[in-house]
């Protein structure tokens, strides 16, 4: 039925217009049987909610934006899926934006300029300057994701990267490794994520009385498999190569394992490897990868909840830092006796 209205759906389902509205928006509690009846009527009539009309009527569209540096990166793709699921439960739609790490694009999205109907923005910034972000023009509710430490009026959802990196390094120390390399340190050494992970790594070494050898930290330009392989080859060319490597992403670890294979090294016999992110391929690599697993579902729930709270009560609550959990998942790359099921 072309141009079906709420009224048409209500008549087909035998309920009030208010009930149809609640079901469509995911608001209020509606009996499951009634909800299913409304959804069948929506499908049968081909009803499409008019976001523009709702925006004019309420000042809200029910659309939030999620902006990440690189959507093809498995971590961000998996995070996006969790954000979509968390938003859907709250009756919201998610617009996905890939910034490519371009600071101008990051600022455009932070200002809500990617779409005039956006109610709020979840942004994982990579290179956006703090001063520029603080002075952004059009103000839409903004929640920051990741470890960039911005002192601006915005809620921030993150994990404790330093603690996670320390736990990963301590695991390698516990299994007897002492020359522990790091793959993921950029040339400028300025990115908050890598700064925090390096801090955790160094803290673990210091606590164990193991001296830090700067030669075990080759520069890495990007978090890709190719960069991981190149860094691993550089480490293996040292007169005293490492007996373990902590990689700042699972993609880097994947490249490192490939380089180890090329050098006919056994993982973990000759070289133990730990990653970070717990992307799906890490469970199925050979060997399966020990990795830090951020709680992506909790990150998504906290972020979506924070931006919707800010949309509803924009100036009523202080801005907060919300910390999600993580766990170190031990697999075959550090323990040959573990088998994935």
pLDDT, tens digit, 9 for 90 and up, residues 264-278: 999 999 999 999 999
Band (pLDDT 50/70/90 cuts) for residue 302 is very high
The single residue listed with the structure tokens 């004019």 is 56
The distance from CA 73 to its chain's CA centroid, rounded to whole angstroms, is 10
pLDDT, tens digit, 9 for 90 and up, residues 145-187: 987 667 777 889 999 999 999 999 999 999 999 999 999 999 8
Instruction: Please check whether residue 155 is in contact with residue 166, taking contact to mean a CB–CB distance below 8 angstroms.
Output: no
Q: Count CB neighbours of 14 within 10 A.
A: 11
CA 290, 291, 295, 296 torsion-angle sign: negative
145, 182: one domain: no
Contacts within 8 Å (CB) and 24+ apart, 11-19:
12/41, 12/44, 12/45, 13/37, 13/38, 13/40, 13/41
Instruction: Please check whether residue 236 is in contact with residue 264, taking contact to mean a CB–CB distance below 8 angstroms.
Output: no
184, 110: one domain: no
149, 274: one domain: no
Residue 71 confidence (pLDDT) above 70: yes
167, 283: one domain: yes
265, 317: one domain: no
SS3 assignment, position 39 = helix
CA distance 222 to 252: 9
**Which run of H or E residues covers position 119?**
strand 118-123
pLDDT, tens digit, 9 for 90 and up, residues 92-112: 999 999 998 888 888 888 877
The whole-number pLDDT of residue 62 equals 81
**123: β partners:** 67, 144
Instruction: Please check whether residue 212 is in contact with residue 235, taking contact to mean a CB–CB distance below 8 angstroms.
Output: no
Domain-located, residue 3: no
CA 82, 88, 92, 95 torsion-angle sign: positive
**The CATH number of the domain where 128 resides is what?**
3.40.50.2300
The whole-number pLDDT of residue 110 equals 83
pLDDT, averaged across the chain: 87
Q: Name the more confident of 246 and 44.
A: 246
């Amino acid at each position: 039925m072309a141009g079906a209205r709420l009224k048409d759906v209500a008549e087909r389902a035998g309920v009030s217009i208010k009930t149809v509205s609640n079901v469509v928006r995911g608001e209020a509690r509606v009996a499951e049987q009634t909800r299913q009846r409304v959804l069948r009527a929506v499908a049968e009539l081909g009803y499409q909610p008019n976001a523009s009309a709702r925006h004019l009527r309420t000042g809200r569209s029910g659309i939030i934006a999620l902006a990440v540096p690189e959507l093809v990166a498995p971590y961000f793709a998996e995070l996006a899926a969790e954000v979509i699921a968390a938003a859907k439960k709250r009756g919201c739609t998610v617009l996905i934006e890939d910034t490519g790490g371009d600071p101008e694009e990051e600022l455009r999205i932070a200002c809500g300029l990617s779409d005039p109907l956006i109610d709020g923005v979840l942004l994982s910034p990579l290179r956006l300057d703090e001063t520029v972000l603080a002075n952004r023009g059009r103000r839409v509710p903004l929640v920051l994701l990741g470890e960039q430490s911005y002192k601006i009026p915005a809620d921030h959802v993150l994990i404790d990267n330093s603690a996670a990196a320390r736990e990963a390094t301590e695991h390698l120390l516990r299994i007897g490794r002492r020359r522990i390399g790091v793959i993921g340190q950029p040339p400028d050494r300025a990115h908050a994520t890598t700064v925090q992970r390096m801090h955790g790594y160094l803290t673990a070494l210091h606590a164990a009385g193991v001296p830090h050898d700067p030669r075990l930290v080759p520069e890495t330009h990007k978090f890709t498999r190719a960069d991981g392989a190149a860094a691993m080859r550089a480490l293996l060319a040292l007169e005293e190569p490492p007996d373990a490597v902590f990689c700042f992403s699972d993609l880097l670890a994947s490249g490192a394992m490939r380089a180890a294979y090329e050098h006919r090294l056994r993982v973990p016999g000759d070289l133990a490897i730990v990653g970070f992110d717990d992307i799906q391929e890490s469970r199925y690599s050979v060997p399966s990868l020990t990795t830090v697993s951020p709680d992506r579902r909790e990150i998504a729930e906290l972020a979506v909840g924070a931006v919707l709270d800010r949309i509803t009560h924009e100036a009523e609550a202080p801005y907060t830092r919300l910390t999600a959990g993580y766990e170190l998942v031990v697999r075959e790359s550090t323990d040959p006796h573990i088998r994935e099921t």
